[in-house]
Amino acid sequence: MIENKENIEETVSGHQQQHEIRIEKLEKLKSAGRDPYETTKFDVDAKSAEIIETFDEMLPERHVSVAGRITGWRNMGKANFIDLTDSDGKIQIYVKKDIIGQEEFERFSSWDLGDIVGVKGTVFKTRKGEISIKAESVELLSKSLHPLPEKFHGLRDVDLRYRQRYLDLITNPEVKKTFITRTKIIKEIRKFLDDMGFIEVETPVLQTVAGGAAARPFETHHNTLNLDMNLRISLELPLKKLIVGGFDKVYEMGKVFRNEGMDTYHNPEYTLLELYWAYVDFERIMKLTEDLIKSVAASVLGEETVIEFGGTTYDLSKPFERISMKDAVKKYANVDFDKVPTLEEARKIAKQNNVEFEPHHLVGDIINLFFEQFCEEKLINPTFVTGHPVEISPLAKRMPSDPGFTERFELFIGGREYANAFSELNDPIDQRERFERQAELKAAGDEEANEIDEDFLNAISYGLPPTGGLGIGVDRLIMLLTGMPSIRDVILFPTMKPIDKKSE
């Protein structure tokens, strides 16, 4: 048997040398009047997976026309076997000199792994039982000027995978499956909300006031208007204006941008779902949140909603747990803030427990710091945390029974936040006071504090009905349902620092 093409390529040292060889082959093709880039179309009538799945149901001598990338090559002299990978999978192609002709076979033999080809032929099963296509004609549709990494055994360099996602998708078929699942999850989220009567809307990405969340925005400048602007950090304020305007159920799923740190759960731009429902409170939104996650999981994963993520098994079919923030701090930090009457006492207890706080932090801020330090990582099973201090909830309605806290919840799974929701604050006077408090924090150096949004205050002054709102980090939900360990594994093109060519 003649040496396989993979082994032939292995004997040629260096990627650059391979590139130069392929450039020479391209020039020869052009000189012979066979420029592959001049091809404008190829009629495809079948995909690899469908051919394989329906083989036993089809008549003998089924003729097909397929196209895809050459990802494997076994040279056996007068007959070659190549693997053709298309968008659905991979199928073997049998190319024989006696069938396609001497001249065409010689041209075919000069092609390379990575080239994109079109094949017409008949489907058959080899003696080893592999469903294949016996080529009657082969056509070069696009020339790959670079060799595929690692002989198509998979791109392993994680940094390179994220930087060159196209190579990641070519060489790692499971990656494509992850992103197909991502699309299904997003479709199911939309279907769930659409079926409930929510209307999907779009709101501006460029905003003069970046509000609706505690986050540092990206700043930009509009040249025509000579106006400094921000990329949105949230969808909240425009959506609530629509509730004022008469929409009862609205949602938006889109990109938001936060100029913050990066880790396995944070990317500077990410997909956020926010919805607002007039005349309901956070309790009803809590039920919606649980129902949505369970419905999406069942639709995408099947009725079996037990998932593995980060080495832990989660059964999403069980009722989600529930605990207040103060009770969580009492349980995991052994501090009962119901018995802490003053800010001075709260600061004293914080120092005793090595909880760092800022001079401007009030009691509610310190409770939240205790929660973040001692409780979050302990919330493994899906858990709704309720009763957030008003100091950290500038847009949430106060609890009538305890005005220092709000009708708000966050959903934690595996020690991470997945959703944030509350009964929306609709008192314009209270809202102004809280915005002013945020403005003071911003002036004191807190870059994540909210700004005063006068237009939003004006809007709710016309009357914002009692409303429940919800935000879900879509990328994190996709991580959970696909079992991916990093947010970069579920974003096709994650934010990356450019490679410094001078340092290479």
Q: What is the pLDDT along the chain (504 residues), one digit of tens a residue?
A: 334 565 544 444 578 899 999 999 999 999 999 999 999 999 999 999 999 999 988 877 899 999 999 999 999 999 999 999 999 999 999 999 999 999 999 999 999 999 999 999 999 999 999 999 999 999 999 999 999 886 444 566 788 889 999 999 998 889 999 999 999 999 999 999 999 999 999 999 999 998 888 899 999 999 999 999 999 999 999 999 999 999 999 999 999 999 999 999 999 999 999 999 999 999 999 999 999 999 999 999 887 678 889 899 999 989 999 999 999 999 999 999 999 989 999 999 999 999 999 998 999 999 999 999 999 999 999 999 999 999 999 899 999 999 999 999 999 999 999 999 999 999 999 999 999 988 888 888 888 888 889 999 999 999 999 999 999 999 999 999 999 999 999 999 999 988 776 544
Domains and CATH numbers, the chain: 5-153 (2.40.50.140), 171-320+381-498 (3.30.930.10)
Residue 222: count other Cβ atoms within 10 Å of its Cβ: 11
Maximum distance among all alpha carbons in the chain?
A: 92
pLDDT of residue 37: 95
pLDDT of residue 57: 84
HSE, side-chain direction, 13 A CA sphere, residue 142: 11
SS3 string, 30-91, reads: HHCCCCHHHCCCCCCCCCHHHHHHCHHHCCCCCEEEEEEEEEEEEECCCEEEEEEEECCEEE
246: alpha, beta or left? (left if phi > 0; alpha if psi -120 to 50) = left
Q: ∠ at Cα 307 (306, 312), nearest 5°? A: 115
pLDDT of residue 4: 54
pLDDT of residue 155: 63
pLDDT of residue 450: 82
pLDDT of residue 2: 37
CA atoms of 458 and 34, how far apart (whole Å): 67
Q: Which of 9, 338, 271, 280 is nearest to 148 (CA)?
A: 9
pLDDT of residue 442: 85
pLDDT of residue 150: 65
Is residue 5 a contact partner of residue 22, using CB atoms and an 8 Å limit? Answer: no
Two structure tokens written together for 489: 């594994």
Strands, E assignment, 78-146: 79-86, 89-96, 116-125, 131-142
Helix pair angle (454-461, 428-443), 10° resolution: 170
Two structure tokens written together for 13: 């040292």
Return all residues near 64 (Cβ < 8 A) that are at least 6 apart: 45, 46, 51, 120, 121, 122, 123, 133
CA atoms of 164 and 153, how far apart (whole Å): 16
pLDDT of residue 446: 83
pLDDT of residue 5: 61
pLDDT of residue 3: 41
Q: Which helix (H) or strand (E) holds 469?
A: strand 467-473
At which residue do the structure tokens 């595996």 appear? 414
pLDDT of residue 502: 55
Q: Which helix (H) or strand (E) holds 256?
A: strand 249-257
